[in-house]
Structure 1
Amino acid sequence: MRKEDGAELLVIPLLGYKPLIGMIHLPPTPSYVKDRVDIDRLVDYALWEAGKLADAGFNAVIIENYGDHPYTVTAPSLSVLAIARIAAEVARTYSGKLRVGINILRNAAPQALEAALVSGASFIRVNSYCELRVSMEGILTPAAYIIERIREELRAPVLVFADVDVKHSAPLATASLEQILHDCARRGRPDAIIVSGSATGEPPSPGYVASIKAMVPYKPIIIGSGISIDNIMAYWRVADGFIVGTSIKLNGKTLNPVDERRARQLAELVNELRVKDYQKLGLKV
């Protein structure tokens, strides 16, 4: 996006300027050990959630097997197939309204990419893309090599949004955050970097996000947790996109359905902030 004096705003491919990405936290998928939900009901639930987010004005959604906890590092085949079908239905139904992303917990990146390829999803989130980390599910190994190999061999038009210092985990290496970021951004070739707080629903500090942005100013930075209508303005100048889940759910509970009022209020605020940016830079809205 170029303004009159030739300067450019950092735009995330396919998603645009400071996109708002809503979470579809799925109930337990068919391979889960208890309280699982059959695929048809999962499809209906995801379409219902996506419809509310599309109507509210969100730009994209991420379909995630959040209800499957405790997770394995990879994922059972039946869960992957279910997510692929769900993503395909959402992508088809809301084509032109929402971009669809996939995250398969805990770090099933190749499976997420395969699901994206067959479903028509536009991007995947990868929890451990360039780092060796430890979590309650086990060791999370870097996925960059296999993901880039698949993307290259299949010419896959799927974007990769890579977490750095991902929540609910700890590093197993002594490299500095700056070194990890530079190596990941330049060698791993993700399309954007995700920065999150320590847990689901917890935001990173604005200063922490600003420091990461300063380290890799050429790469889009997406906030991966904790964004709400009450704090988004604190991140507006240091982030290029926002993944939102907990704060737009009924009663602010992660596994609850989307609260249409909360989602719409946040989307309206984001749109107002975008319009102000366009006007300041002499861009057409």
Structure 2
Amino acid sequence: MTPAVLNFLRGRRHPALIGVVHLGALPGAPRYGGDLPLVLERAVADALAIAEGGGDAIIVENFGDIPFRRDRVDPETVAAMALATARVQRAVGELAVGVNVLRNDARAALGLCAATGAEFLRVNVHCGAAVADQGLLEGRADETLRERARLGLACAILADVHVKHAEPLAGGTIADAARDALRRGLADGLVVSGAGTGEAADPAALEAVRQACPEAPLLLGSGLSLENAGDYRRLIDAAIVGTSIKLGGRVDRPVDPERVAALCSALAGRP
């Protein structure tokens, strides 16, 4: 099965904007405040702001759960994310919604797709291994692909290449890593980010991945802004945007629909 979201990415005249719904701390996380309904309310408000601003898709992630679990998250995290994802889906109607379970739980993300119908998932380390603040992150492409098939899902797997907040353990270039993720890990799309949240990616890295894997949808994973959108738009099929769509460009603030609209216009090449 070809994930429908891939056709959506490939059939566009200009890059899509995938807005991030950063969930507040969920049950079990150190910063959880004990009010899950408030977390869900804020998630829906951010999703509606993304839709109002003309965003093309949404990705829901457990951003507030620092420090993150290295791989497998707790059942209460999955349960809370399922509630949040379903609420977001109901709020935004037919807008495509995906999930990212931090730090690297692709299996939980597949479970969310199975339960909610989420159309795509982001995996920070799909192939190989990376050293991060959580320790060693190991890719489980074999498990992820087999579980997706077993569950009969058509969700797209968007795999980071040299993911942010981490250093790849093995040698090789970003082009090598991209080829492995696509052709050996069977990822459906490739994500290239800067060094950290909100940090701009090196255009040369995007160029290298595009040249190495011209058949793959290529997504910018961090750092899009009004100032650099013109530089990136010719290189990518979509941008995953969290920080720049928030009020004042601050990751801890609510989503601002006017900033979403401005970034959508910049990606489309409109003044």
Same fold (TM over 0.5): yes
CA contact (8 A) 1:91 1:120 kept: no
Q: In structure 2, what is the Cα distance between the partners aligned to 1:265 and 1:177?
A: 31
Percent of counterpart pairs with the same letter?
37
Highest RCO, 1 vs 2 (Cα 8 Å, sep ≥ 6): 2
CA contact (8 A) 2:201 2:223 kept: yes
**Alignment counterpart, residue 43 of structure 2, candidates 43, 46, 49:** 46
1:191 aligns with 2:176: no
Q: In structure 1, what is the Cα distance between the partners aligned to 2:263 and 2:171?
A: 38
CA contact (8 A) 1:201 1:246 kept: yes
Q: In structure 2, what is the Cα distance between the partners aligned to 1:13 and 1:78?
A: 33
- In structure 1, the residue matched to 2:197 is 200
**Alignment counterpart, residue 115 of structure 1, candidates 105, 112, 137:** 112
The alignment's TM-score, normalised by the length of structure 2, stands at: 0.92
> 1:37 Cα deviation (Å)?
4.7
Query: CA-atom RMSD, angstroms?
Result: 1.7
Q: In structure 1, what is the Cα distance between the partners aligned to 2:32 and 2:76?
A: 15
What is the aligned residue count? 263
1:260 aligns with 2:254: no
Q: Which amino acid aligns with 2:74?
A: P
Matches within 5 A, 1:113-262: 113-262=110-259
Q: Which amino acid aligns with 2:103?
A: R
- In structure 1, the residue matched to 2:7 is 13
- In structure 2, the residue matched to 1:279 is none
> 1:241 Cα deviation (Å)?
0.7
Q: In structure 2, what is the Cα distance between the partners aligned to 1:272 and 1:238?
A: 13
Q: Which amino acid aligns with 2:90?
A: R
Matches within 5 A, 1:73-88: 73=70, 74-88=72-86
CA contact (8 A) 2:210 2:218 kept: yes
Q: In structure 1, what is the Cα distance between the partners aligned to 2:32 and 2:248?
A: 22
> 1:216 Cα deviation (Å)?
0.8
Q: In structure 2, what is the Cα distance between the partners aligned to 1:233 and 1:50?
A: 25
Matches within 5 A, 1:49-64: 49-64=46-61
Instruction: Provide Cα deviations, 1:161-209, integer angstroms capped at 9, x if missing partner.
Output: 0001000001111234333221211121111000000000001121221
CA contact (8 A) 2:58 2:97 kept: yes
Structure 1: gaps of 5 or more residues: 1-10, 277-285
SS of residue paired to 2:6? coil
Structure 2: gaps of 5 or more residues: none
Q: In structure 2, what is the Cα distance between the partners aligned to 1:131 and 1:36?
A: 36
> 1:121 Cα deviation (Å)?
0.8
CA contact (8 A) 2:31 2:64 kept: no
> 1:269 Cα deviation (Å)?
2.9
Q: Which amino acid aligns with 1:78?
A: E
Q: In structure 1, what is the Cα distance between the partners aligned to 2:91 and 2:259?
A: 23
> 1:221 Cα deviation (Å)?
0.7
Closer/same/farther in 2, CA of residues 230 and 152 from structure 1, 3 Å limit: same
- In structure 2, the residue matched to 1:269 is 266
Q: Which amino acid aligns with 1:258?
A: V
The alignment's TM-score, normalised by the length of structure 1, stands at: 0.88
CA contact (8 A) 1:12 1:240 kept: no
> 1:56 Cα deviation (Å)?
0.7
